[in-house]
Amino acid sequence: MKSFSKGFALILCFAAGAAFAAGKNAVSYSNAGYEYLAKGEPVKAQIQFRSALRQNPSYKEAMLGMAKADLALDAWRDAFDYFAKVLKVDADNIDAMTGMGFAYIGLANYDRALEQFSDVIKKSENAIEAHYGTAYLYYIMNKNLWATRKIATVLRMNPYHYETLLLAADIKREEGRFDEAEDFIQTALDDKKDNPEGYIRYAALLNERYLTKGDSDDLNAAIEQIRRALAIQPDNFKALNYLGYLHINENNYDAALDAFEKARAVNPDSAVLSYDIGLAYERKGE
């Protein structure tokens, strides 16, 4: 779900650098974590943020980064707890307040999520992530008209807001307006070519169009988009799992199982993956 990259003052790195034999301190670890977040690699980001917090357990930016990495991995409760820690030391932190709203969504507390985003917008009318969060919440609640109105607000603020463009594409895809959905995704990809999420969502669009219209070229194109995502991030669980699903659609069950096994190596505890593997074996006749 979402890129939350923030910059830090590099001078802080030099202030404490001499204290660590390895030449890395909490700030430099944290900076590396944010770089991984920006590239859509939350697992690697977590490693860096943990290293930062081992050296400085109260370092606010590392706690905030860990919360955002947890969000990206759907670890809602962990994210909530880290955002809460940030707010204990900085009660008006807009990033943490907004992130708490997304955590509430993941925990299915939609009323509290809406209150959280509304509180953020009251504090800062231009808090674009809170506006996006509201649009996403409406989408989750199947209030697509309200979501679309809020999307328009975000895109007036920033026509290239990556997550909002992908959300708009999802809504158009679900409405069967595939060409409009594709336009939104292309705009997102033009802005961020090195983030695998856009290619995964493009694959979902192409697969939906294949299932609707039956053109095998769309299925082949969907597989190609997933391969582009994996070229950027070979261990992307979502891409590997979706690749398996696409191979099922083309009746290539051995390839599907190979993709699923690679996904299982990344996330062995996924319940969704267990179902998908079972489906592949069932379709294969085993």
Q: What is the pLDDT of residues 136-148, one digit of tens each?
A: 999 999 999 999 9
H or E stretch at 230: helix 216-232
Q: What is the pTM of this model?
A: 0.81
Pair 117, 130: CB distance under 8 Å: yes
Q: Report the chain (286 residues): mean pLDDT per 10 consecutive residues.
A: 37 37 79 90 91 96 96 92 97 96 96 97 96 98 97 97 96 94 96 91 96 96 97 92 95 95 87 85 84
The whole-number pLDDT of residue 8 equals 34
The whole-number pLDDT of residue 200 equals 96
Pair 53, 82: CB distance under 8 Å: no
The backbone region for 2, taken as left when phi is positive above 0, alpha when psi lies in -120 to 50, beta otherwise, is: left
Helix residue ranges, H only, 73-177 = 76-89, 94-106, 110-123, 128-140, 144-157, 162-174
Q: What is the pLDDT of residues 167-222, one digit of tens each?
A: 999 999 999 999 999 999 999 999 889 889 999 999 999 999 999 999 999 999 99
Tokens of 62: 């590392």
Pair 152, 171: CB distance under 8 Å: no
The whole-number pLDDT of residue 9 equals 35
- Which value, to the nearest 10 degrees, does the dihedral of the CA atoms of residues 74, 155, 63, 58 take? -160
The whole-number pLDDT of residue 23 equals 58
**3-state helix vs strand vs coil in the chain, percent to 5:** 75, 0, 25
Q: What is the DSSP string of 245-274?
A: HHHHHTT-HHHHHHHHHHHHHH-TT-HHHH
Give, rounded to a whole angstrom, the gap between the first and last alpha carbons of the chain: 35
- Across the chain, which distance is largest between two alpha carbons, in Å? 63
The whole-number pLDDT of residue 61 equals 96
DSSP 286: -
